[in-house]
Amino acid sequence: MEGEPATTPTPVEIPGNIDPVRRAALAKVAELSGENVYECMQCGTCSAVCPMVDSMNFTTRQGIHYLQFGMVEKVIDARIGEYCASCHTCQVRCPRGIEVPKIFEAVRLLSLRMNEDLITLSEIPKETLEGAPQIAMVSAFRKLTA
Amino acid sequence: MRIAYYPGCTMKTRAASLELAAVEALNVLGVEFTELERWNCCGAVFSLAEDDLIHHVAPVRNLVRAQQEGCDTVVTICSQCYNTLARANLLVRGDQEKLETINRFMDEEPDYEGGIEVIHYLTLLRDHVGWDALKAKVVRPLDGLKVAPFYGCTLLRPDEVSIDPLHEGVLEQFLLALGAEPVAHSAATECCGSYQMLAHPEEGMQRAAKVIGSANHAGAEALVLSCPLCEYNLGTRQSDVVAMGGELKPVPTLYFTQLLGIALGLEPDLYRLDLAGPEARDLLVEKNFVAAATV
Amino acid sequence: METAVVPEVATKTVPIFVMGKKYEVPDTLTIMKALEYAGYQYIRGCGCRGGICGACATVYRKAGDYKIYTGLACQTVVEPEMYLAQIPFYPANRASYDFEEIEATPESIFKLYPELFRCVACNACSKVCPMDVEVLDYVSALKRGDIKAAAEISFDCIQCGLCTSRCMGEMAQYHIAQLARRLYGGKLAPKAEHLQKMCDDIEAGAFDEELAKLKTLGVDDMKKIYTEREMEPAMSDESWKPASSAGLA
């Protein structure tokens, strides 16, 4: 509808038994993504369709589960956000309509906004920079550099 | 409709083979358009953070350009550009506050008023030219060439920007209109690996291997693409991917617009087979779609 | 000693703030002259004093105004309540390359300056440029591989570094543009063949005799030759030819 915000953000109700530090990290993920991880019913479809899931230390479904416990740092360590290719298959298949890519973008941003690059430009081989289309550099740097 | 064509960065260098035939085809098909005179890189990916506005400035600035040049529709061929421009457009049209903030930030530009439509080239062909009209202009039908269509991600996801919301198979319809035979394969709408080929090459190549394997399995003679990044992952890097071992066989990759150029009988220097792989050139010569001398 | 800084004409003074400290300076002075009036001595951040070397880049704000303004200190006249700081140098990554070896392709530039792709088209660079260079447009041109357009659009750049100081992508735009201009001018632009021919003629000795003759003359004879030289009339047409064709092809 014209004039209204695209999503009316509802505050995510984080269970009281999650410790304050984790609570703050999860609240940040909720704020940046606009998504409620507690809507996830852990069906595992996102993991099943994720093209990069084998590269991640644990699956996307597990990632959401860890987030439900506020264990954001574990999700960062699992490098889910780093290996995500932003293909959005998880989003279109999620039976709850959760915008999963936004959640993992939020996790990525927790590092990036602290000026921590997730890839290092100087480590990219020169031949790659010469041979890859500009679109590859623009998208990789936007998603993975601070 | 006053159409502005938005090229995107890669079109002017290595993806010239995606652009040239497509642009000339519009002339052959009687579609009036102008190329945007002044444009900037759209950013290639759509920023997903709720509070992020700066990454939407790049695509919105291009919509302002289209507005300034008196157009109401932006057509683009690169799938990633399409996705980014279309999503940015939807975002600002649906959120007045964000649009105002972005307009205020771009204080050196006129305000974006939200009146531009962003469509992909295939949508233009389907909805504004029509498959029958396209078929009527084909002078060199593709003789049942078995082509595995590859959509990739950005043409179809998320739902609100899908060029094929009713799952009718836009690429398949396109290929049929040119006289080719689309072959179904499991990875048609899967991800090619995207920027991971650059960021994490090993994992990127594994992803590409799945897609190539899928085309092999379906008995495709060629894999047809719409995005320069898919082309890099599945075409340019194919020899590295196949060399990883396993049962992969090389499969020629071509842009859908190169097939369009051949079918419409356009000049060979418009579909730039010099930028395609040797397997693609050999295939086309073998099938008599192009004269050996032109490659 | 001649006080060249303060003009003879009666002027009023205005307050300006230099790095937070207030000074009253005559309102007809440029920022550079005002700083010297206030007692600052330039040992850096000052060069041609003529608006073209890019050494005296200055950032300032005005009272009650959030906007950032920029200018060259040697060219910009002070305004009341101007709140300024100079940016004589902003750290900028400059890639090393061998100009003789480098290929004049977009990929050469991408390889040396991958940070080019971090541009988010925020346009802060163009807004801050004291020479009104359309920085975003040349960065866009570079990203799409158009070296010629980047060279042309960046022509007026004086390498002051203000764009670099504001860049969200942490690029040193002016270094990348300079590479583009060097590649275009040195390797892509068509060569002026008549210039090359003239150089060849000179090296082949076509003018050696004339020059040798001139070297034997005294100052007065040289002056005579100079003032009496044949000159093309102001309103001549294409058919005009000089009377003497000495030294011409």
Q: B155 or C3: which carries more pLDDT confidence?
A: B155
Q: What is the mean pLDDT of residues A6-30?
A: 80
Contact A134 B196 (CB under 8 A): no
C145 touches chain B (CB under 8 A): yes
Give residue A9's pLDDT: 54
Q: Which long-range contacts (CB under 8 A, 24 or more apart) does C109-112 make?
A: C109/C142, C109/C147, C109/C176, C109/C179, C109/C180, C109/C183, C110/A129, C110/A130, C110/A134, C110/A137, C111/A126, C111/A129, C111/A130, C112/C179
- How would you write B18-78 as a 3-class SS string? HHHHHHHHHHHCCCCEEECCCCCCCCCCCCCCCCCCHHHHHHHHHHHHHHHCCCCEEEECC
Contact A52 B8 (CB under 8 A): no
Give residue C119's pLDDT: 92
Mutation to test the B interface, candidates A94, A135, A142, A145, most B Cβ within 10 Å: A135
Contact C107 A130 (CB under 8 A): yes
Distance from CA of C95 to the nearest CA of A (A): 12
Residue B126: band (very low, low, confident or very high) from pLDDT cuts 50, 70, 90: very high
Q: What is the mean pLDDT of residues B181-187?
A: 96
**DSSP of chain B:** --EEEE--GGGGTTTHHHHHHHHHHHHHTT--EEE-SS-----SS----TT--HHHHHHHHHHHHHHHTT-SEEEE-SHHHHHHHHHHHHHHHH-HHHHHHHHHH-TTSPPP-S--EEEEHHHIIIIII-HHHHHHT-SS--TT-EEEE---STTT-SGGG-S-TT---HHHHHHHHTT-EE---TTTTS---TTHHHHSHHHHHHHHHHHHHHHHHTT-SEEEE--HHHHIIIIITHHHHHTT-TT-----EEEHHHHHHHHTT--HHHH-GGGS-HHHHHHHHHTTSS-GGG-
* Closest chain C residue by Cα to residue B10: C144
Cβ under 8 Å to B: C residues 155-184: 168
Tokens standing for B59?
């695509």
Give residue C221's pLDDT: 93
Average pLDDT over chain C, rounded to whole?
A: 92
Delimit the domains of chain B by residue range. 3-122, 135-294
Domains annotated for chain C, with CATH where assigned, are: 13-86 (3.10.20.30), 106-188 (1.10.1060.10)
Contact B54 C122 (CB under 8 A): yes
* Phi, psi at C86, each rounded to 5°: -100, 145
Contact B12 C145 (CB under 8 A): yes
Average pLDDT over chain B, rounded to whole?
A: 94
Instruction: Select from C137, C146, C168 the Cβ nearest to the Cβ of B54.
Output: C168
Give residue C244's pLDDT: 80
Give the integer Cα–Cα distance in Å for C157 and C72: 13
- Tell whether the model's pLDDT for residue A31 goes beyond 70: yes
Give the integer Cα–Cα distance in Å for A140 and B80: 13
Report whether B254 contacts B245 (CB < 8 A): no
- Which residues from chain A sit within 8 angstroms of residue C115, using beta carbons? 121
Contact B41 C136 (CB under 8 A): no
Give residue C8's pLDDT: 67
C106 touches chain B (CB under 8 A): yes
Give residue C1's pLDDT: 54
Instruction: Select from B43, B190, B203 the Cβ nearest to the Cβ of A142.
Output: B43
Q: What is the mean pLDDT of residues B86-108?
A: 95
Question: Quick one: how far is CA B87 from the chain centroid?
Answer: 16
Give residue B275's pLDDT: 86
Contact A87 B97 (CB under 8 A): no
Give the integer Cα–Cα distance in Å for A62 and C72: 57
Instruction: Select from B11, B13, B40 the Cβ nearest to the Cβ of C121.
Output: B40
CATH topology of domain B135-294: Rossmann fold (3.40.50)
Instruction: Select from B94, B190, B198 the Cβ nearest to the Cβ of A132.
Output: B198
- Tell whether the model's pLDDT for residue B272 goes beyond 90: no
Q: How far is CA C50 from CA A104, B96, B286, C76, in A?
A: 53, 47, 67, 11
- Which residues from chain C sit within 8 angstroms of residue B41, using beta carbons? 119, 121, 140, 143-144
Contact A140 B199 (CB under 8 A): yes
Q: What is the mean pLDDT of residues C180-194?
A: 94
Give residue A109's pLDDT: 94
Residue type at position C214: L
pLDDT tens track for C2-38: 656 665 666 799 999 999 999 999 999 999 999 999 9
- Tell whether the model's pLDDT for residue A137 goes beyond 80: yes
Q: How far is CA B194 from CA A50, C138, C179, in A?
A: 13, 27, 30
Contact B41 C119 (CB under 8 A): yes
- Tell whether the model's pLDDT for residue B46 goes beyond 90: yes
CA-nearest of A82, A116, A103, A117 to A31 is A103
pTM of this prediction exceeds 0.90: no
Q: B3-122: which CATH number, 1.20.1050.140, 3.20.20.70, 1.20.1050.10, 3.40.50.720?
A: 1.20.1050.140
pLDDT tens track for C147-172: 999 999 999 999 999 999 999 999 99
- Which residues from chain A sit within 8 angstroms of residue B44, using beta carbons? 135, 138-139, 142
Residue type at position B280: A
pLDDT tens track for C228-245: 988 888 898 888 888 887
Give residue A5's pLDDT: 45
Q: What is the mean pLDDT of residues C123-148?
A: 94
Instruction: Select from C120, C137, C140 the Cβ nearest to the Cβ of B55.
Output: C120
Instruction: Select from B43, B156, B198 the Cβ nearest to the Cβ of A136.
Output: B198
* Closest chain A residue by Cα to residue B205: A52
Q: What is the mean pLDDT of residues A58-76?
A: 94
DSSP three-state, residue A136: helix
* CB atoms inside a 10 Å sphere around CB A85: 26
pLDDT tens track for C50-80: 999 999 999 999 999 888 999 999 999 999 9
Q: B251 or C4: which carries more pLDDT confidence?
A: B251
Q: C156 or A15: which carries more pLDDT confidence?
A: C156
Return all residues near B218 (Cβ < 8 A) that are at least 6 apart: B148, B183, B184, B185, B186
Residue type at position C141: A
Tell me if B3-122 shares its fold with B135-294.
Answer: no
Return all residues near C4 (Cβ < 8 A) that are at least 6 apart: none
pLDDT tens track for C74-125: 999 999 999 999 998 899 999 999 999 999 999 999 999 999 999 999 999 9
Query: How large is the angle between the packed helices B16-28 and B256-263, nearest 10 degrees?
Result: 40
